[in-house]
Amino acid sequence: MLYAGPAALCLESAAEDAGEVVHVAIDASRRVADRDGVRVHRIRNLAPMVQWHLGPPRLRFEDNTLELAHRAGTDLDAIEVLTSAVGSRRTTASRLRDALRDRPRIRRRGLLTALVDDLERGTCSVLEHGYLTRVERAHGLPVGNRQRPRAGTRGSEYRDVEYGELGLVVELDGRTGHAAWVAQGRDADRDLDDHADGRESVRVRWAQVYGTPCRTANRIGRILSRRGWTGRPRRCGPDCEV
């Protein structure tokens, strides 16, 4: 810190994730070379992001979370950073949104903004849109019915994606942290209702949509084929697993 100062701990070092390399941030207007054991990162408008009163100074939790998401290698990694931050209860979606407003050049800004909205509302529209575009549409799966109401044991219930004539329901589960006992019981009831009525119900999470969408499409396609679909999934590109 003395070598790069004025500087602040950032990334894994600010998150108290000990490693062999210490990550420090300096303002983008400065240039400081890396040295053994020290990795220097240049960040625009650094000063307001730093808790200078700490010893050593470090990025505020929200700003550091966004910086980790900005530098993440994949969309799934960026999603995991934000959902884990909120799930740990060290911050809130509202505080992340406030910090995001000050980062106009952040990578994946649209995705992160929509994800913060989802985390605050407790919905999973980002996951739903990802399933539609990355899994279903990209691989030529049948078009499912979305959020169609159906009478259930607790009144009207809504299924995320339902392939009605083929009897398959896809539930998109974007919850973070540990699901509450009541929520787990409600989900199990809905799954049992589907099976009792002759439908299959599968649960799809972030990793299946943003991490392995091709593999997910392949498996959904196999289930649909078993239930009477005469089509087949198509490859979305040269590296597709389908």
- The closest alpha carbon to 70, from 83, 61, 79, belongs to 79
For 193-207, what is each residue's pLDDT tens digit?
655 566 788 888 888
Say which residue, 105 or 182, is predicted with more confidence: 105
Examine residue 142 and say whether the peptide bond preceding it is cis (omega within 30 degrees of 0): no
For 120-149, what is each residue's pLDDT tens digit?
876 667 788 889 889 999 999 998 887 666
3-class secondary structure, 189: helix
- Return the exposure string of 188-200: e unless at least 16 CB atoms fall within 10 Å of the residue's CB, then b: eebbebbeeeebb
The tokens describing 84, both together, are 């884990």
**Alpha-carbon distance 32 to 30, whole Å?**
7
pLDDT average, residue stretch 45-50: 93
Report the pLDDT value the prediction gives residue 181, as an integer from 0 to 100. 39
The answer to whether 202 and 167 are in contact (CB under 8 A) is: no
Residue that has been written with the tokens 């020290």 in this structure: 38
**Alpha-carbon distance 12 to 116, whole Å?**
21
The tokens describing 191, both together, are 């799954």
> Please, what is the angle between helix 75-87 and helix 109-121, to 10°?
30
Q: Is 146 exposed, middle or buried (0-12, 13-18, 19+ CB in 10 A)?
A: middle
- The closest alpha carbon to 91, from 176, 17, 27, 207, belongs to 176
Report the pLDDT value the prediction gives residue 179, as an integer from 0 to 100. 46
CA dihedral 187, 191, 194, 197 (to 10 degrees): -110
For 51-102, what is each residue's pLDDT tens digit?
999 989 999 999 999 999 999 998 888 988 898 888 778 899 999 999 999 8
**Alpha-carbon distance 152 to 158, whole Å?**
9
Residue type, 185: G
The answer to whether 173 and 203 are in contact (CB under 8 A) is: yes
Pairing of strands 58-59, 50-51: antiparallel
Beta bridge partners of residue 41, listed in sequence order = 25
For 225-240, what is each residue's pLDDT tens digit?
999 999 999 999 999 9
Q: Is the pLDDT of residue 4 over 80?
A: yes
- Return the exposure string of 96-116: e unless at least 16 CB atoms fall within 10 Å of the residue's CB, then b: bbebbeebeebebeebbbebb
What integer best gives the mean pLDDT of the chain?
84
The tokens describing 55, both together, are 């010893």
